[in-house]
């Protein structure tokens, strides 16, 4: 079972879990903050809407298309 960090909080998930699902399991379900200050969450689940953008180990990724792996550091705030 992979263990990852989401905004500094440890979370263990089942193998094959997407980051979008982990965000929902690990707290608020939000993936980013919009330019107007509103919290945003995954919407389409297939990478079209781009609402699930997060930073993974310093790289921007789509949470709905990224599988969790052990040691991953995920940040939802800029």
Residue 72 in this model has a pLDDT that exceeds 80: yes
For residues 56 and 34, is the Cβ–Cβ distance under 8 A?
no
Whole domain around residue 34: which residue ranges?
3-75
- 5-39 pLDDT per residue, tens: 999 999 999 999 999 999 999 878 999 988 899 99
Question: In 1-78, which residue ranges form alpha helices assigned H by DSSP?
Answer: 19-25
What are the angstrom distances between the C-alpha of 11 and each of 8, 38, 48? Answer: 10, 24, 26
CATH code of residue 37 = 3.10.20.30
pLDDT at 55: 96
The total of structural domains in the chain comes to 1
Q: What is the mean pLDDT of the chain?
A: 93
**Whole-prediction pTM:** 0.89
Instruction: Please state the length of the chain.
Output: 78
Find where tokens 């930073």 sit.
Answer: 55
């Amino acid at each position: 079972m992979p263990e990852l960090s989401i905004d500094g909080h440890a979370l263990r998930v089942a193998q094959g879990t997407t980051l979008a699902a982990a965000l929902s399991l690990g707290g608020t379900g939000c993936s980013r903050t919009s330019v107007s200050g509103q919290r945003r969450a995954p919407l389409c689940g297939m990478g079209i809407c781009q609402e699930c953008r997060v930073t993974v180990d310093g790289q921007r990724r789509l949470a709905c298309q990224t599988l969790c792996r052990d040691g991953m550091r995920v940040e939802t705030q800029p």
